[in-house]
Amino acid sequence: MKQIANWALNVATMRGSSYADARIVSQKGRALTTKNGKVGSASDADSIGMSVRVLADGAWGFAASEDLSRAGVEATAARAVEIARASAQVKQQDVRLAPEKSVTAEWTTPHAIDPFSISVEQNIALLLNVDSELRAVAGITLAESNLNFNREEQWFVSSEGSDIHQTKYSAGAGYTAYAFAGNEIQKRSYPNSYGGQWQNKGYELIEELKLLQNARRIAEEAVALHSADQCPEGTFDIILDSSQLGLQIHESIGHPIELDRVLGMEANFAGTSFLTLDKLRTLRYGSEMVNVVADARQEHGPGLGTFGFDDEGVPAQCTPIITNGLFTGYLSSRETAHTIGENRSGGTLRAEGWNRLPMIRMTNISLLPGEKPLSLEQLIASTDHGILMQTNRSWSIDDRRYNFQFGCEIGWEIKHGKRARMVKNPSYSGITTEFWNSLDAICSRDEWTLWGTPNCGKGQPQQVMGTGHGAAPSRFRKVKVGSAYKGS
């Protein structure tokens, strides 16, 4: 594969590129689903191809093809240079790349069990058992479950001499129970909504999730929501469970710190960011206890944003994003690092596959746990009146990442330190920095989970990327609750 990639580099260099890299990527995926007692879908997919990214005349060109013959590879490289020269017709200044040492490396996701080594029969049996448990509860009208496994092998070479072979594994699993009655559809999901929990791990993730053990409870909660009261509207202290907080981090911290957004590169589609460059090391993003990192290193955990090297050959790093409440860092790339006075990329450039241009993506954007021991139950016990919200149901935020609104699947009104009643349709909304400044308690490490978001969309053409978000249940004071239903 390295030889094939070098064919591309040679042509790009001969045609005058000042920089070139080539990625050959082989991806394999398996998706299994069940629905109401049957296999919903069973499919395998594989894809292999190569892309060439070049700088010529100070501008970028990118071309990708499934054709790995020598003629095909060389034509792709030539096309990339031709495109770069066309780009140079409309530029304000030349692209500058932050320096990066070339590296020769091998890296593989640590995993105990290759997920593709587990038989399909075993996987389907697990899902059907879960399905059976869900539908054993009277009132469940629809049960859906899924298992997903992915393997991605990449060969990266650059004209600067880097040669990196990297293999990543990921797994995901989850289920949802729906209950339709009267004029209402309620649902509960486990361990998270929209596909469950995902990590860069082997099959051991599936064994850790205790899917079957939680199915009955989840189904019972879905049915019980029909008898629950509507979540009250007003200003409340709220406690978010770790999965909902993971998505809150994703939307209101992870996206606004993407430096390409800040610089206007996403203005037409994904949007920009309120985090203009003047806010670095001056903005009080959150309360003193808010510490957020962007950490792609294995030692942070097996998140979907964990890797050895990003897709322009920069090693995984940990960047402090919010330090004791102060905004301290962006997600950057070799092209953008200089705009924040850095002489090295933060290592966040990733592509969905061989046929997509790498772009700044979240790695693992995590809220560090509280240092003092604090369990969720202790946090509830210390809350006089509030709402505990669990598992995301809807999410929306404006294109500069100020105003957000989230809905959750289930809520619990807390009174005098106890869960007083279940409430349905809980939602909350706010302004990003006001919200993070209202945080006054974070549970400790034993309540912390590194969640996976497998479906983050960005870019044109749009790319879907997996990101990681570590979080422990946390409390926020005086948050607007229920305005989603106001006036409806």
SS3 384: coil
By C-beta, is 270 or 374 nearer to another protein? 270
By C-beta, is 59 or 304 nearer to another protein? 59
* Structure-token pair, residue 363: 């790695």
Q: Among the candidate windows 11-19, 368-376, 410-418, 425-433, which touches another protein by CB under 8 A?
A: 425-433
User: What strands lie across the sheet with 292-295, from one edge to the other?
Assistant: 326-327, 318-323, 292-295, 365-367
Q: Among the candidate windows 276-284, 360-368, 387-395, 469-477, which touches another protein by CB under 8 A?
A: 387-395
Long-range contacts of 87-95 (CB under 8 A, 24+ apart): 87/57, 87/59, 87/60, 87/61, 88/56, 88/57, 88/58, 88/59, 91/58, 91/59, 93/58, 94/58, 94/59, 95/55, 95/58, 95/59, 95/60, 95/335
Minimum distance of another protein from residue 373's CB (angstroms):
36
Q: Among the candidate windows 107-115, 378-386, 427-435, 445-453, which touches another protein by CB under 8 A?
A: 427-435
Minimum distance of another protein from residue 210's CB (angstroms):
24
The answer to the question of residue 271 lying near another protein (CB under 8 A) is yes
By C-beta, is 147 or 380 nearer to another protein? 147
SS3 209: coil
- C-alpha angle 362/368/373, rounded to 5°? 155
Residue 366 β-bridge partners: 293
By C-beta, is 268 or 282 nearer to another protein? 268
Q: In whole angstroms, what is the distance from residue 314 CA to residue 86 CA? A: 27
Candidate list 4, 97, 180, 342; residue touching another protein; CB under 8 A: 180
* Structure-token pair, residue 82: 């031709």
By C-beta, is 256 or 301 nearer to another protein? 256
Say if residue 417 is exposed, middle or buried (CB neighbours under 10 Å; 0-12, 13-18, 19+): middle
Q: How many CA atoms lie within 13 A of 5 on its CB side?
A: 25
Minimum distance of another protein from residue 233's CB (angstroms):
11
Candidate list 16, 269, 324, 464; residue touching another protein; CB under 8 A: 269
Q: Which of residues 355-374 bind another protein (CB under 8 A)?
A: 355-357, 359
The answer to the question of residue 142 lying near another protein (CB under 8 A) is yes
Minimum distance of another protein from residue 434's CB (angstroms):
10
By C-beta, is 45 or 420 nearer to another protein? 45
Minimum distance of another protein from residue 355's CB (angstroms):
4
Q: Which of residues 88-117 bind another protein (CB under 8 A)?
A: 88-93
Minimum distance of another protein from residue 211's CB (angstroms):
18
Minimum distance of another protein from residue 359's CB (angstroms):
8
Q: Which of residues 31-90 bind another protein (CB under 8 A)?
A: 33, 35-36, 38-49, 51, 59-67, 79-80, 82-84, 86-90
E strand intervals along 57-141: 59-65, 104-108
Q: In whole angstroms, what is the distance from residue 476 CA to residue 240 CA? A: 8
Q: In whole angstroms, what is the distance from residue 401 CA to residue 277 CA? A: 15
Candidate list 108, 324, 382, 396; residue touching another protein; CB under 8 A: 396
By C-beta, is 124 or 283 nearer to another protein? 124
Candidate list 177, 209, 249, 397; residue touching another protein; CB under 8 A: 397
- C-alpha angle 198/199/202, rounded to 5°? 110
DSSP conformation letters of 102-117: --EEEEE---SS-GGG
By C-beta, is 62 or 448 nearer to another protein? 62
By residue count, the chain amounts to 488
By C-beta, is 341 or 487 nearer to another protein? 487
- Cβ atoms of 151 and 129 within 8 Å: the answer is no
Candidate list 332, 425, 449, 467; residue touching another protein; CB under 8 A: 425
The answer to the question of residue 238 lying near another protein (CB under 8 A) is no
Minimum distance of another protein from residue 428's CB (angstroms):
12
Q: Which of residues 181-210 bind another protein (CB under 8 A)?
A: 183-185
- Cβ atoms of 196 and 226 within 8 Å: the answer is no
Buried b (16+ CB within 10 A) or exposed e, 18-41: bbbbbbbbbbbbbbbbbeeeeeee
By C-beta, is 120 or 376 nearer to another protein? 120
